[in-house]
Chains A and B, each alone.
Chain A
Amino acid sequence: MTPLLMAQLGLTLFVFVMLLNSAAIMVYVERKVAAMLQQRLGPYLVGPKGLLQPLADIIKLLFKEELRPRAADPLLFALAPIIAATAAFAAFAVVPFGAETTLFGLLDAPMKLQVADVNVAVLVIFAISSMSVYGIVLAGWSSNSKYSLLGGLRSSAQMISYELSYGLALAGVLVIANSLSLTDIVNRQSGAWLGVVPRWYVFLQPLGFLIFMTAGIAETNRAPFDFPEAEQELVAGYHTEYSSMSFSMFFLAEYINMVTVSAVATDLYLGGWHGPLLPESLGWIWFLLKVAAILFFYVWMRWTLPRYRYDQLMQFGWKVLLPMAVVNLLVTAAGVLYFGA
């Protein structure tokens, strides 16, 4: 067990625990920000300023009875939340969140702050997010109830439609960066033009960033694209029949997908862990700040915008977002050819 191996195992565990924590923090942040936007207080009873509210929520969820409808397919009913949660966690395995570090000099060689550094990292994220569709569609099918089935089918149709725009927006960045490895892409965004404007890809690809964020919000089934799990329309969509641990796994999967999309957007467009005033080894602080900003944007969108109706949602995805993404890619490719990268 070399020190490097121990450090890498520790990193894996650390990432896992931090993702779980981030889901809990997101629960609290969502409720507090929603309250702020709606000019009320939000949770304030449990713990100071309501900070222990997520803990109370989790304890309540764990104590609920685990139900299974009699007509539900037992294997698939149990498998669906597992697939959803696993895909959510797995996607974060290839996302780097800091520069190479020697852990304050304990290691001999610098170690990347990334669980697995593959040189097709961008595609791996795309692949795993397309596997998360299965969790939802199986949940909808195996519950054997019409709300679940409709919600599951709509949700998966929405996710696979917006995956196209997601991928094409990604392709715009790939054309500029010339590499599929997320670490490379982030490292190309270091430095600044004229010493002031950072060399982030969001300035080179503003349309691409917007498309990516929109498709990301649709991929994670968040408002304004959350028709499949809207309470007013479909009871609770594909997770109607789930309770206790299984429901909390879907809940967890949704928040972790949000965190992953934010982290990937930060790496691709906002320069990852590069930022002024801090040395490279503390770059993860910048990463956290940027991810937090995008997550705030997510929550803000949910509580500000009305929900898209399902057919409007699909039309938007195919007839507006996809052509925009294609045009973005064409213009980017033309730009790269003309300016010579």
Chain B
Amino acid sequence: MTPTLNEYLLLSAILFAIGTGGVFLRRNLITILLSIEIMLNAVNLTFVAFGRALGSVDGQIIVFFVMTVAAAEAAVGLAIVIGLFRHRASLNPDSFASLKW
């Protein structure tokens, strides 16, 4: 059975939800960043699917930009994680809770 647009959107929704769950459920900074990457990929899939459905190349171009932004964000995020690790020797976000009341 040929997949329809709905099925692609559903797949992308599931992936996005998995990413969101990962961000909230994991207690490791790097895994949280990985979950954010999952979410960005789910969004990419949505864009490409809609681009295909509407016959426009814009979907792929936006994916290009999303990937670039994801790369930049991953680089800076990981640099921050390295800095945090050097400070507290821990990757658990609970260790960096000193600003909480």
Give yes or no for direct A-B contact (beta carbon below 8 Å). no
Interface of B toward A, CB cutoff 8 Å:
none
